[in-house]
Structure 1
Amino acid sequence: MMLDAPPARCHGASIPDIVAIGAEHESVASWRKRCNIDTGKQIRLVKLSHMRYQHPDLHEITVFLQDFGMEVVKKTAHQVWFKGYGTDPYVYYAAQGEKKFLGGVFEVESYEDLEKAAQLPTAGEIQALSEAPGGGYMVTLTDPEGFPVNLIYGQHPAETGECPTRMIVNTESEKPRIRKFQRFNPGPAAVHKLGHFGLCVQDFEGLLGFYTTNFNIVPSDFLYVEKDGQKKNVALFAHIDRGADNVDHHSFFLSTNDTSHVHHCSFEVHDFDTQHLGHQWLAGKGYMSVWGVGRHILGSQLFDYWWDTTGNMVEHYADGDLVNEETPIGYGPAGHESLAVWGPEVPAWFLK
């Protein structure tokens, strides 16, 4: 009697970026030339700094964000600043008012970059952040679909908080954890830093051009749909180009949609166990899970999405990919199957 061949066993591996990306790719230099990107004219971003939102109930969102793993660093009657355990003075700013997205904030290289940004058609004046932890200066402009774009310079970094202990892990062949037992404390998953945020947009090509022309934002991956034999890009995962320096796979993303709105923002946590303990804590408090825990494909992050108390989507992530100028730009088909290698079934409306 012939037996069917057993199914291939699951496995994971850390493989080179060009192998993981696959055959559909191009170099950053090729993309820049094809799109006529002039890096000399760009406003130079350093990193993503913090998110800004308006909430009708500051007490309610404060309780949620503390359960999400942030700490209040300063509070007034109408504003709250929240930090993680990294060097950012704060990673989230909440203002009192009707529900409103106030934009992500990028740190720039110099005050001259703020002055350059202030010359753009939709920019306001450079403002001193005298009330905010860390101080600094900020200018706000709007992109072609009306989303705020905030640029900051001159903040004083915060002291690094306590970093969680790195776990020792035994495998079948290597067992370094001898007479040390794994034990855990329940509680929120402590936030380290802001990792990325993304927008759902109606004019994908227009927004793509705006962000990649005016700023040193470079594609990591495009997702496309095929129609009549043609491939049309409908989503972008992009990183901040810092040359040979290694940076997060994406700090920013765009996704084609019927309406224009923020999709989510995402904050880094320590590791796999932290992610699950944080999920358990939020679930026990009665908050509403969106999707997770799972493992993304593009970016490789462990993910966990939640609704905050105002109805905004926020994410914990851990173990994200790093890229630099040598990492090729990938192209792949769009769809739910491109989102995760494992995890709960993605909600049908997630990309909406």
Structure 2
Amino acid sequence: MIDQHDPHTGLHSDQGALRGEHPGRARNPIIKVHDLAWLEFEKPDLDRAELFARAFGFTTSLRTPDELQLRGTNAGVPCVLIRRGTRSRFVGAAFKAADPTDVLRLADATGRTVAALPESLGGVTVDLVDPGGARVRVVSATLELPALPAQQPLAFNVGHDAARVNATQRPPREPAAVQRLGHVVLQTTKYLATLDWYLEHLGVIVSDFLYYQGQRERGPVMSFIRCDRGSTPTDHHTLAMVLGPANRYVHSAYQVADLDALAAGGEYLRERGYQRSWGVGRHIQGSQIFDYWRDPDGFLVEHFSDGDLFDCTIQPGWAPMSASGLAQWGPPATRDFLGIKPGREAFRELRAVVGALRRDNEFDLDRLRGLLKVATS
């Protein structure tokens, strides 16, 4: 007899909020950002960083002895800025203002000043700091790089719909050409305060909330957040935020053409000795096909394709958080992806747990128990 049980029953975030739960948006935000512009890092070895970046599918748009700018094939600004530093660290994210006057409005509301960006980027920025201590830039009037030749998605024969006749499928084993920056995921010890700060200052809205099993009454511990562009659909999440024992970067994601580009690009990375963290699979929240990799400095980066697009009418879904609920199909989430693989990163997270429990923040003993259940679910 065939087992009809669906292991994902109850995990899809299609349930709405209960009375009194977080609405997932601010009533009157200061501005509404248009998109994620770029991410900024510091690394001591730019040669090594550029070598991985090219294998991952970036194109170098600027290289100096002290700075590396990486772009995708879409027209626009670079996806990633890496400056030479004494150690590897995530510096912060930059968001694109919907209108140039929004930068001025945000500066006035926060008591900050508007500053010129470097000549290589053009435009202006207002620099803020979120409650978790991360630097947040809102930029406008930046220089636009022209589009590059793009990697084309393959034609598929789907069921009886024959789009490809008298032709074979032979996707080349080459880097999966990055099209654009999709999202960044941040961990914070002050989840609710930080979430509300982004909703109020940047006008972003929540697509999905996750909560720990048995702790829904305490509120969510993760949110997938999108830009509010009215009736224009945007990525299911441009920013994701999760409660944890330390304020840190978790991962960033970059769109590629399709599954074949992602899978063949993964083989290209594997053959060159780079470390796959988790993949290939399809997520639940956001629905993306994903493949996660570690760069040589230990940063987690994702290739993705076929993600959900929502307009402003979709209200937040609510679902319990579990390791098995991270994917609809694919291999189980790895210990490396979950941050529990023995090694330097796991030891650093353990030290952060001990420190967090000694301080006054949202990550307390009950939240730790919930997190441990996630890792073993």
User: Could you state the TM-score of these two structures normalised by the residue count of structure 2?
Assistant: 0.82
Cα distance change, pair 21–79 in 1 and its aligned pair in 2 (3 A): same
Cα distance change, pair 229–55 in 1 and its aligned pair in 2 (3 A): closer
Q: Deviations over 1:106-142 (max 9, x none)?
A: 100233222233346584x423224324x21122211
Number of positions where the alignment pairs a residue of Structure 1 with one of Structure 2 = 332
> How big is the shift at 1:31?
7.8
The answer (yes or no) to whether the contact 1:56–1:310 under 8 Å persists in 2 is no
The answer (yes or no) to whether the contact 1:122–1:142 under 8 Å persists in 2 is no
Partner of 2:274: 287
For residues 62 and 13 of structure 2, the distance between their equivalents in structure 1, rounded to whole angstroms, comes to 43
Amino acid at match of 2:95: F
Cα distance change, pair 130–228 in 1 and its aligned pair in 2 (3 A): closer
For structure 2, the residue ranges without an aligned partner over 5 or more in a row are 7-11, 340-377
- Comparing both structures, which one devotes a greater share of its residues to helix? 2
Cα distance change, pair 35–247 in 1 and its aligned pair in 2 (3 A): closer
> How big is the shift at 1:9?
11
Partner of 1:201: 188
Q: Which one of the candidate residues 204, 218, 222 is aligned to 1:235?
A: 222
Partner of 2:53: 65
SS of 1:25's equivalent in the other structure is coil
Q: Which one of the candidate residues 19, 25, 30 is aligned to 2:16?
A: 25
Cα distance change, pair 228–143 in 1 and its aligned pair in 2 (3 A): closer
> How big is the shift at 1:270?
0.5
For structure 1, the residue ranges without an aligned partner over 5 or more in a row are 11-19
Partner of 1:13: none
SS of 2:262's equivalent in the other structure is helix
Q: Which one of the candidate residues 80, 83, 89 is aligned to 1:95?
A: 83
Cα distance change, pair 259–244 in 1 and its aligned pair in 2 (3 A): same
The answer (yes or no) to whether the contact 1:304–1:316 under 8 Å persists in 2 is yes
Q: Which one of the candidate residues 51, 63, 69 is aligned to 1:81?
A: 69
For residues 337 and 61 of structure 2, the distance between their equivalents in structure 1, rounded to whole angstroms, comes to 32
Amino acid at match of 2:58: M
Q: Which one of the candidate residues 294, 297, 304 is aligned to 1:307?
A: 294
Cα distance change, pair 129–256 in 1 and its aligned pair in 2 (3 A): same
> How big is the shift at 1:341?
1.1
Partner of 2:141: 154
> How big is the shift at 1:21?
4.4
Q: Deviations over 1:16-62 (max 9, x none)?
A: xxxx743x2159xx988x578333x4222011111111111111101
The answer (yes or no) to whether the contact 2:277–2:336 under 8 Å persists in 1 is no
For residues 264 and 36 of structure 1, the distance between their equivalents in structure 2, rounded to whole angstroms, comes to 23
SS of 1:350's equivalent in the other structure is helix
SS of 2:127's equivalent in the other structure is strand
Q: Deviations over 1:65-109 (max 9, x none)?
A: 111101111111111111110012311101000212111111002
For residues 36 and 298 of structure 1, the distance between their equivalents in structure 2, rounded to whole angstroms, comes to 18
Give the share of equivalent positions with the same residue, in percent: 28
1:115 pairs with 2:111: no
SS of 1:230's equivalent in the other structure is helix
The answer (yes or no) to whether the contact 1:122–1:141 under 8 Å persists in 2 is no
Q: Deviations over 1:203-224 (max 9, x none)?
A: 1111111111111110000001
Partner of 1:106: 95
Q: Deviations over 1:280-328 (max 9, x none)?
A: 0111111111111111011000111111111111111111000011222
Q: Root-mean-square deviation (CA), in Å?
A: 2.3
For residues 36 and 190 of structure 1, the distance between their equivalents in structure 2, rounded to whole angstroms, comes to 34
The answer (yes or no) to whether the contact 1:226–1:232 under 8 Å persists in 2 is no
- Comparing both structures, which one devotes a greater share of its residues to strand? 1
User: Could you state the TM-score of these two structures normalised by the residue count of structure 1?
Assistant: 0.88
1:47 pairs with 2:38: no
